[in-house]
Amino acid sequence: AQKITQTQPGMFVQEKEAVTLDCTYDTSDPSYGLFWYKQPSSGEMIFLIYQGSYDQQNATEGRYSLNFQKARKSANLVISASQLGDSAMYFCAMREGYTGTASKLTFGTGTRLQVTL
């Protein structure tokens, strides 16, 4: 079974609209972390947001928020007020285990977001 599943290979959103990128995960470890990274066409991986399995509140970072539904094992990324510069590939990733150890991340296949005028 896939540990990280991103079911949307591509998404379109109009500028200034909000968009939700889906991510579901599979783990039996009670301690885990969920990450979202952005990969623009230039290729670098840019960290966006993190959610720990024990965090009570959904993470937010500026225009990014993570809709964490633990029982459903989903960690969807919400981008509000989309901008043209948000056009990129978005990867969901998971680290299993305690944060004090090395972060071996398992990545999903990614969602390519295109922001249109």
Partner 1 sequence: EPEVTQTPSHQVTQMGQEVILRCVPISNHLYFYWYRQILGQKVEFLVSFYNNEISEKSEIFDDQFSVERPDGSNFTLKIRSTKLEDSAMYFCASSPQSGANVLTFGAGSRLTVL
Per CB under 8 A, residues contacting partner 1 are 33, 35, 37, 42-47, 50, 52, 91, 93, 95, 99-110
Nearer to partner 1, 19 or 94 (CB): 94
SS3 for 6?
coil
Measured from the CB atom, the residue of 46 and 81 that comes closer to partner 1 is: 46
**Of 19 and 38, which CB lies nearer to partner 1 in the complex structure?**
38
Residue count of the chain: 117
Name the minimum Å distance from CB 71 to partner 1: 22
Q: By the 8 A CB rule, do 52 and 30 touch?
A: no
Supply the minimum distance, in Å, between the C-beta of residue 92 and partner 1.
10
Q: Could you tell me which residues come within 8 angstroms of residue 102 by beta carbon, excluding any fewer than 6 positions away?
A: none
Give the CA distances from residue 29 to residues 25, 37, 66, 87, 110, in Å, rounded to whole numbers and listed in that order: 11, 22, 20, 33, 23
Q: How far is the CB of 25 from partner 1 (least distance, A)?
A: 14
